Amino acid sequence: MNTIQDFHNLCTKNNITLSNQQITQFQKYYELLIEWNEKMNLTAITDFHEVCLKHFYDSIALVHYLKFKESNLVLDIGTGAGFPGIPLKILFPNTRFVLADSLNKRLTFLDEVIQDLELEKIELVHGRAEDLGHDSDFREQFDYCVSRAVANLSTLSELCLPFVKVGGQFISYKSEHVKDEINQADHALAVLNGKIDRQEDYTLPDSDFFRSILFIRKENSCPNQYPRKAGKPNKNPL
Ligand code: SAM
């Protein structure tokens, strides 16, 4: 892929329909990402083709399995440079999104992205999941919590499931180690009342990059002591 039109064609070929406005938003997002990446560490991937495939397409591949509704509230934990939150927001302009990260600098970048792309119904939150997860404004408030490349599944379940309403889903973007991660997360999921409802494995188009999306249903509230104090879920996974 050399141009944004190539990305448009790739999406069309893979049954993801994008409007001209959405395509323009992806183009602007790429330009901002490259511009800001010179001043701060946002991504190691900067090549146009790679960004389109491994950041943009990777983030929106979820639409093959789930369409967010206008009434949904979606949280992206550890959004970093905005993945998967911003691409999903571009695809679902009427759904409310909250993007959270513990690194404020990245949120400054995302603020600019939101202004330039004229995105609405989207909020940025600075904080650690371990703290936000005990705040009543966030705990059990979301229909979906998505997360990509933040931690292993056990740790991530502790960070993400507390935000999800009972009956809602934590959606974890994973790659080649998914099998091992699932085995290691068995106990965490049992303790936190999460259940893997569905697993969708695929490869990114015209490549052999394996990806897996896990849909983890929250069957009951998480015990109040979770998430544990900042750093604990990572150092000592359940
Ligand atoms: N999700 C993005 C992606 O897929 O490109 C960013 C991944 S980056 C490797 C991990 C991000 O998670 C960083 O921006 C980091 O600041 C954030 N993060 C790590 N631990 C966190 C925590 N406990 N609470 C909130 N954000 C966290």
pLDDT tens profile 32-43:
999 999 999 999
Task: Give the residue, by CA position, lying nearest to ligand 1 atom 27.
Answer: 78
How much is the pLDDT for 48?
98
How much is the pLDDT for 94?
98
Q: What is the mean pLDDT of residues 196-217?
A: 97
What separation in Å is there between the alpha carbon of 17 and the centre of ligand 1?
A: 29
Preceding peptide of 223 cis, ω within 30°: no
Index of the ligand 1 atom closest to the CA of residue 76: 1
Q: Confidence band (pLDDT; 50, 70, 90) for 137?
A: very high
How much is the pLDDT for 32?
98
**Candidate from 101, 113, 134, 135 with most ligand 1 atoms within 8 A of CB, to mutate:** 101
Q: What is the mean pLDDT of residues 187-215?
A: 97
Q: Which two tokens stand for residue 8?
A: 């448009």
What separation in Å is there between the alpha carbon of 124 and the centre of ligand 1?
A: 13
Task: Give the residue, by CA position, lying nearest to ligand 1 atom 10.
Answer: 150
Give the strands of the sheet with 194-203, arranged side by side.
Answer: 122-126, 96-101, 73-77, 142-148, 164-174, 210-218, 194-203
How much is the pLDDT for 190?
98
Q: What is the mean pLDDT of residues 179-187?
A: 97
How much is the pLDDT for 127?
98
How much is the pLDDT for 178?
98
Q: Which two tokens stand for residue 164?
A: 């999800």
HEC string of the chain?
CCCHHHHHHHHHHCCCCCCHHHHHHHHHHHHHHHHHHCCCCCCCCCCHHHHHHHHHHHHHHHHHCCCCCCCCEEEEECCCCCCCHHHHHHHCCCCEEEEEECCHHHHHHHHHHHHHCCCCCEEEEECCHHHHCCCCCCCCCEEEEEEECCCCHHHHHHHHHHHEEEEEEEEEEECCCHHHHHHHCHHHHHHHCEEEEEEEEEECCCCCCEEEEEEEEECCCCCCCCCCCCCHHHHCCC
What separation in Å is there between the alpha carbon of 151 and the centre of ligand 1?
A: 8
Q: What is the mean pLDDT of residues 162-189?
A: 97
Index of the ligand 1 atom closest to the CA of residue 55: 5
Task: Look up residue 131 and give its amino acid.
Answer: D
Smallest CA-to-CA distance from 59 within 225, 213, 228, 234 is with 213
How much is the pLDDT for 227?
98
Q: What is the mean pLDDT of residues 95-104?
A: 98
Write phi, then psi, for 167 (nearest 5 degrees). Answer: 95, -15
Q: What is the mean pLDDT of residues 96-112?
A: 98
pLDDT in tens, 50-76: 999 999 999 999 999 999 999 999 999
What separation in Å is there between the alpha carbon of 80 and the centre of ligand 1?
A: 5
What separation in Å is there between the alpha carbon of 150 and the centre of ligand 1?
A: 5
Q: Confidence band (pLDDT; 50, 70, 90) for 31?
A: very high
Q: Confidence band (pLDDT; 50, 70, 90) for 44?
A: very high
**Candidate from 37, 88, 97, 102 with most ligand 1 atoms within 8 A of CB, to mutate:** 102
Index of the ligand 1 atom closest to the CA of residue 233: 23
What separation in Å is there between the alpha carbon of 9 and the centre of ligand 1?
A: 30
Who lines ligand 1 at CB under 6 A?
77-81, 83, 100-103, 106, 128-130, 148-150, 159
How much is the pLDDT for 232?
97
